[in-house]
């Protein structure tokens, strides 16, 4: 079974860098996987991605070392089973705002006795052909279980959330957190910053790595000093759009400069 390099690095206290996949395009996901990220999150919450697309994307990433993680649309056990049977090495459950939410996340992600995940016949289990027994032995160990805290209710009981056994990562959602606090367009508001720091401190006291999206090198460096380890540094659509804009701008500037220099006479 493929090993989870992101989880291994987190356990070793190393920094982990990854991106977000929102497009149902296996080829684009493969390109990102080949770029050298530690992890890639396939986003079924906000991305236009269904279970079939998740499996196709995972198959495209199969020849790389990247740890594929799926952000679920919720913590419902039946939906989690379908996603987990496609073979990711981790899940992120959004809007975890209570101890009960956190317990449901762990329960859905892990096989008994640690959880209640059902045993299927899907890609993860090798379609019951030649690797099912091996997978069942190590699946819980390799699975990265992440709770996403992104609401003021989650901040209020963060100490209870991080006390739940089986959580490998607490991931912050600053934008939705700011919205829940009345600062929808101000994720950098001082009150939001205090809430984020409270989560980071609680997670660190519980010896659980904490992650967050970052907007660039300076933001990342600041978060490293705050004890964050797991960094979401970019999105497929933003990378694509940015490259297109940059390429077009460079072509326009080069063309304009050439015209200004004069066109050779025929």
Residues recognised as catalytic: 46
Q: What φ, ψ does residue 57 adopt, rounded to 5°?
A: -65, -45
> d(Cα 235, Cα 172) in Å, to the nearest integer?
16
Q: How far apart are CA 220 and CA 228, in angstroms?
A: 9
Question: Exposed, middle or buried by CB within 10 Å (0-12, 13-18, 19+), for 100?
Answer: middle
Cis peptide before 113 (omega within 30 of 0): yes
Query: Which residues does residue 92 pair with via DSSP β-bridges, in sequence order?
Result: 71, 146
Between the alpha carbon of residue 123 and those of residues 2, 59, 90, 227, the distances in Å are: 13, 9, 15, 36
Alpha-helical (H) ranges within 24-63 are 26-34, 51-61
Phi, psi at 55, each rounded to 5°: -65, -40
């Amino acid at each position: 079974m493929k090993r989870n390099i992101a989880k291994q690095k987190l356990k070793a206290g190393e920094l982990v860098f990854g991106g977000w996949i929102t497009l149902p395009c296996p080829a684009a996901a493969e390109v990102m996987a080949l770029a050298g990220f530690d992890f890639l999150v396939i986003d079924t919450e906000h991305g236009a991605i269904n279970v079939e697309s998740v499996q196709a994307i995972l198959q495209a990433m199969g020849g790389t070392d990247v740890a594929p993680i799926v952000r679920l649309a919720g913590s419902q056990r039946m939906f989690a089973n379908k996603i987990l049977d496609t073979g990711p090495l981790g899940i992120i459950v959004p809007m975890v705002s209570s101890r009960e939410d956190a317990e449901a996340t762990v329960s859905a992600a892990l096989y008994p006795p640690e959880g209640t995940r059902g045993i299927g016949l899907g890609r993860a289990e090798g379609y019951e052909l030649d690797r099912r027994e091996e997978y069942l032995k190590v699946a819980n160990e390799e699975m990265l279980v992440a709770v996403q805290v992104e609401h003021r209710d989650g901040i209020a009981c963060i100490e209870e959330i991080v006390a739940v056994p089986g959580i490998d990562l607490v991931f912050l959602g600053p934008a939705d957190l700011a919205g829940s606090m009345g600062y929808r367009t101000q994720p950098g508001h001082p009150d939001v910053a205090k809430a984020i720091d409270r989560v980071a401190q609680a997670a660190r006291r519980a010896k659980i790595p904490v992650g967050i999206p970052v907007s660039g090198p300076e933001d990342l460096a600041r978060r490293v000093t705050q004890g964050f380890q797991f960094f979401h540094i970019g999105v497929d659509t933003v990378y694509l759009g940015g490259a297109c804009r940059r390429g077009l701008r460079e072509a326009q500037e080069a063309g304009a400069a050439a015209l200004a220099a004069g066109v050779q006479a025929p």
